[in-house]
Amino acid sequence: MFAGNALASLLAPPRFYRFSGVVLPWLSVLCAALFALGLYSGLVLAPPDYQQGDSYRIMFVHVPAAWLSMFAYLILAGAGFMALVWRIKLAEAVAAGVAPIGASFTLLALVTGALWGKPMWGAWWVWDARLTAELILLFLYLGYIGLQSAIADTRQAARAGAVLALVGVVNIPIIHYSVIWWSTLHQGPTVSKLDAPSIHASMLAPLLLMSAAFLLVFVIALLLRTRAELLARERRSAWVQALLEGAP
């Protein structure tokens, strides 16, 4: 009980709202700089692939989107767990805010994967293990969003959504390890082989830059959506009223 109260105090909505308002401008500037560096490195400096030509460059969008689709779901499940166990209001707002963002990254990963797959595999879609698991991930996000919309009581909706999110976590290792467990069209691990990545440094550098830029987009979007969720949920609280009275 003490740990839950201490955590709730540390993650109090007014404290988060003030902190996020301070860091958002700095994150936005850093995000723009990383995008500029990543796009220049990926589109200008990186050489064409010896097999795929220039079509491989879509990976600078596809791979970060795929990574973040899974990362966002882990955030959703973690926030759901905190909301379910300790009833932390900020965790409920984070879970509600991250679900549409995660769904957007998952859809982007599927669309860019189709654009990449057509010239490489000769088809827009195949029932590959990783593709199918990624599609299931999109359905999990949409199911969570639909469940939130169907329950009027936001706190009850948060608890119900947390159960769904925690059950769906089993899909994340399936997505990640599908290329190892089954014979798929997707290539095996490349970047994660830290001792010797199966990708040339001239292509790895822009990929990591774009991944960092996409991560900041995710963080910025999550902070903005969580702030909006908190204002909507806490609109009758004293701190929001004080914030409104101080607005120009």
Instruction: Name the residue type at position 55.
Output: S
State the Cα–Cα distance between residues 216 and 25, nearest whole angstrom. Answer: 12
State the Cα–Cα distance between residues 175 and 119, nearest whole angstrom. Answer: 23
State the Cα–Cα distance between residues 227 and 19, nearest whole angstrom. Answer: 11
Greater model confidence, 220 or 6: 220
In the structure, what pLDDT confidence band is assigned to residue 30 with cuts at 50, 70 and 90? Answer: very high
Range in 30-34, 55-59, 214-218 the model is least confident about: 55-59
In the structure, what pLDDT confidence band is assigned to residue 152 with cuts at 50, 70 and 90? Answer: very high
Q: Return mean pLDDT, the chain.
A: 89
Question: Domain spanning 22-246 has what CATH number?
Answer: 1.20.120
Query: What is this structure's pTM?
Result: 0.91
State the Cα–Cα distance between residues 87 and 110, nearest whole angstrom. Answer: 34
Long-range contacts of the stretch 43-50 (C-beta < 8 A, 24+): 45/202, 45/206, 46/202, 46/203, 46/206, 47/202, 47/203, 49/203
Residue 208 has which token pair?
A: 């990591």
